[in-house]
A and B are shown apart, each in its own frame.
Chain A
Amino acid sequence: MSRLAVPKTYKLFIGGAFPRSESGRTYEVRAADGGFLANAAKASRKDARDAVVAARGAVAGWAGATAYNRGQVLYRIAELLEGRRAQFVAEIEEAEGLTRAQAGAQVDEAVDRWVWYAGWADKFAQAAGNANPVAGPYFNISVPEPTGVVAIVAPQDSSLVGFVSAVAPALVAGNAVVVVASERFPLSAISLAEVLATSDVPKGVVNVLTGSPAEIAPWLASHADVNALDLVGAGELDWVDLEIAAADTLKRVLRPEPGPDAAAPALDRIAAFTETKTVWHTKSLR
């Protein structure tokens, strides 16, 4: 006789903790075959705002860490994810109705993308910045800096690889993020939050909300303490209204990307959430 399983309660991930939604709401997540999987937390406006506060509080420390350190922390996520590969494969298999091989390929891709982005942490400034040969006695250098708090609507058609592809590049330069997970496939995002919680990522650097992107995204798009908005997974929402709301505080906006290749690994995904700072200094022997 088989052992009776112990199912997990899936909650939000805010400021390094796993609270339920303050609203007390949950929604039912079902497997591809229709079977019950979990009651996921249905985040509210207040949860979103709490997440922004947590993210803002984490920016200085994460952005101020050395690039070498950020690279190691990001690489550590890949290590821990690899170690829990079986758990994610099973979760994705069930949620998305994939074969074991397909689910395994998604987890492998997610791990490899963490590794790819981790490696960029201490090189990106060299690719995106440079010294400028100005016509005068000045030292002049341009370097990329993180934009600050990035709100992300994760790709909606994928459990893990879409989520990772949207989150990892924003972290490379030192941003803190608030991510709205896939509404249909939210469980792997929360399981990934467990990986993040046990890795060395400082609390608040990544905050994960589950629930209705249509309900939560407008609060993030209009939040004055959010600096950038990644609408990669917002193609099915009224995303034009989100972009308009974001314009009130001149947020940097990435528009939706359709299809399975959404948020494919690219240097300009890192660049999208950075600002170029140029510093001039006089040169003189006196």
Chain B
Amino acid sequence: MSFLEYAPAPESRAILSLRDSYGLFIDGEFVDGRGTPFQSISPASEEKIATIANANQADVDDAVAAARRAHDRVWSRMSGRDRGKYLFRIARLIQERARELAVAESLDNGKPIKESRDVDVPLVAAWFFYYAGWADKLDYAGLGANPKALGVAAQVIPWNFPLLMLAWKIAPALAAGNTVVLKPAETTPLTALLFAEIVQQADLPPGVVNIITGAGDTGAALVGHDDVDKVAFTGSTAVGRAIAKQVAGTHKKVTLELGGKAANIVFDDAPIDQAIEGIVNGIFFNQGHVCCAGSRLLVQESIHDEVVERLKTRLSTLRLGDPLDKNTDIGAINSREQLDRIRELSDAGVAEGADRWSAPCEIPENGFWYAPTIFTNVQTSNRIAREEIFGPVLSVLTFRTPQEAIAKANNTPYGLSAGIWTDKGSRILAVADQLRAGVVWANTFNRFDPSSPFGGYKESGYGREGGRHGLGAYLSPASVTSAGRGTPRAVEAAASAASADEKPARRTRRPARPAKKGAAK
């Protein structure tokens, strides 16, 4: 069944002029990687897009060394005003090349063009504009006068919002005066490499931004590099945990943006039309590949049947298919690996007794696809109510009282986001107070803005991105006591005291961690 028949309306790929292969972007130039190159494919067709260089340890060393040089000799000495001007330039270049970036993103990631064009890329430009203005105003960041950049930032990002996550990482880091080495996800390196071209067009000093591609071991080598001062990671809680262990005992400052299992709470007095749209947006936006997705729908018992019926009706109108088609609502799942995980968890839901319903839609022959799916009759102990599925799968649970809704919402080790739908303002504020989540959306969902801090409680990670708080994650206060708390000096002193007793000292190389797979936020 289809709500309305639409003729195909594909966005043209002619705007892209991709190279057949891409190197690593180190010290302002593209260079060959010394690892075994890999291919980036379109998840919608499984066709090859480009061959991508693979950075090994020596490449990581080069990239960090370039970032260190650029930090010490150029970027840390440049005025905030000029740093800001470079960021403004980048923001403008992104706007100029917006359509090209959107097409590349949809091609490489599989997300619908209407999302990459209308959400991802505009937010990328906004992020650079926002932080550009901060560069010469760091005294107002909340850390006192003359805060200092941390140095070299190692940044590892996921595949769900490739270019947007790049912007979340690079814009505040550069504004604060850090230089960066960024590793995009293995399955979605394309827009980061186009961004490297933008960096060249902006004439940014070499080494300020370095982009290295590769898989989990490249990321682990980068995060574990001794000359890195800051680690920023967005991805799975499992990898975040491994990173937290890897950096233990070092001077590195860390921001972790990890998984979630957000509750979207719908009270019986909610504006129901908006709520249905919000629920759909909350879990089916970007095929549910969203760390803050509203994957647990908590609906008040009295309106459960109505909400589920209306959801099914609405989902039946969604169009799944070619990500580059302007009418597409649901694009491709990013990789076979992720599709397998969605299927496994979904099957576990059925096995544990929940009722599965999938929207009737035609699945294309090639590529990775999963129809929008709702589970009802879900118990809080079911895996689909506890584990992050990271796909277009919604688990519906019920509650009777606000207290029960709050208890169920908080009954998770995650704490990234939550939603509340009700017409009663005082109830919104009281419930928001009690939800253990870093972002709470009331009568809306999945809103993002560069001025608005984003990040988790509990095992969803720590640190914030966005806003003044996100800037602070890349700064340290200038005035510290003689003990120099939190500064490298203090840790150095602590480490040298410790090493006298043969305890691990700062900058002692720890054994390499296993490859970081599935770096998905």
Q: What is the interface of chain A, defined by CB distance below 8 A to chain B?
A: 127-128, 130, 132-136, 138, 140, 142, 147, 227, 235-236, 238-240, 243-244, 246-250, 252-253, 255-264, 266, 268, 275-282
Contact = CB atoms under 8 A, between A and B. Distances in A.
Contacts of B504: 240
B449 A135 contact: yes
A147 B462 CA distance: 11
A258 B453 contact: no
B494 A240 contact: no
Given A275-B457, A278-B453, A281-B428, A247 B244 contact: yes
Interface in B244-266: 244-245, 248-249, 256, 258
Given A261-B482, A276-B453, A276-B464, A281 B442 contact: yes
Contacts of B126: 135
B248 A138 contact: no
A252 B429 CA distance: 27
Nearest to A247: B244
A258 to B, nearest CB: 5
A238 B441 contact: no
A255 B441 CA distance: 34
Interface string B422-452: 0000001100100001111111100101011
17 contacts: A134-B449, A240-B249, A244-B249, A247-B241, A247-B248, A252-B462, A259-B483, A262-B483, A268-B477, A268-B486, A278-B439, A279-B432, A280-B444, A280-B447, A280-B452, A281-B443, A282-B443
Given A239-B494, A250-B240, A264-B485, 17 more contacts: A130-B468, A134-B452, A135-B451, A138-B447, A247-B244, A249-B413, A250-B241, A250-B459, A258-B497, A261-B481, A266-B481, A268-B143, A268-B486, A280-B439, A280-B440, A280-B441, A281-B444
B467 interface: yes
Nearest to A227: B458
A128 B498 CA distance: 34
Given A250-B256, A261-B481, A278 B241 contact: no
Contacts of A133: 451
A276 B244 contact: no
A246 B457 CA distance: 15
B485 A266 contact: yes
A50 to B, nearest CB: 23
Residue of A130, A257, A262 with most partner-chain B CB within 10 A: A257
A233 to B, nearest CB: 11
Contacts of B142: 127-128
B449 A132 contact: yes
Contacts of A262: 483, 485
A253 B249 CA distance: 11
Residue of A127, A249, A250, A263 with most partner-chain B CB within 10 A: A250
Nearest to B447: A280
Contacts of B244: 243, 246-247, 250
A240 B252 CA distance: 13
A143 B240 CA distance: 25
B151 interface: no
A279 B142 CA distance: 20
A99 B342 CA distance: 69
B469 interface: yes
B237 interface: yes
Contacts of A246: 244
A274 to B, nearest CB: 10
Contacts of B462: 250, 252
Nearest to B435: A277
B16 interface: no
B454 A278 contact: yes
B304 to A, nearest CB: 24
Nearest to A243: B248
B158 interface: no
A135 B123 CA distance: 10
Contacts of A275: 438, 457
B494 A235 contact: yes
A134 B447 contact: yes
B341 interface: no
A266 to B, nearest CB: 7
A140 B452 contact: yes
The list of the 3 closest CB pairs from A to B, nearest first, reads A240-B249, A247-B244, A243-B248
B490 interface: yes
Nearest to B429: A279
A238 B439 CA distance: 36
B482 A255 contact: no
A254 to B, nearest CB: 8
B461 interface: yes
Contacts of B249: 239-240, 243-244
A133 B449 CA distance: 9
A138 B448 CA distance: 11
Contacts of A277: 432, 437-440, 457
A209 to B, nearest CB: 23
A131 to B, nearest CB: 9
A220 to B, nearest CB: 16
